[in-house]
């Protein structure tokens, strides 16, 4: 179990950050998407190798236009 944007979320064993982003139906190359794990922004180039551990706090944010 991890915290995803403040809510409990089940993760599969050895699930990577890239797999989680895909599950959220966000493209891995989508513009305006940023992810932090335990308060640290994770560069997109390492999403495939970033394995989510039990209890991780993950924040996924997307930029929105408007004002």
Express each pLDDT in 8-34 by its tens digit. 999 988 999 999 999 999 888 888 899
Q: Which residue ranges make up each domain of the chain?
A: 2-62
Judge whether residue 44 has pLDDT over 70. Answer: yes
Q: What is the band of 50 on the pLDDT scale with cuts at 50, 70, 90?
A: very high
Other Cβ atoms closer than 10 A to 45 = 7
- CATH code linked to domain 2-62: 3.10.20.30
Check residue 67 and give its pLDDT.
59
User: Residues 31-56: what's their mean pLDDT?
Assistant: 95
pTM: 0.87
Q: Which helix (H) or strand (E) holds 58?
A: strand 57-62
Average pLDDT, the chain: 92
């Amino acid at each position: 179990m991890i915290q995803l944007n403040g809510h409990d979320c089940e993760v599969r064993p050895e699930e990577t950050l890239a797999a989680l982003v895909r599950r959220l139906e966000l493209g891995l190359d989508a513009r305006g998407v940023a992810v932090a794990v335990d308060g640290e922004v994770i560069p997109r180039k390492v999403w495939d190798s970033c394995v989510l551990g039990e209890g991780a706090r993950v924040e996924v944010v997307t930029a929105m236009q408007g004002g």
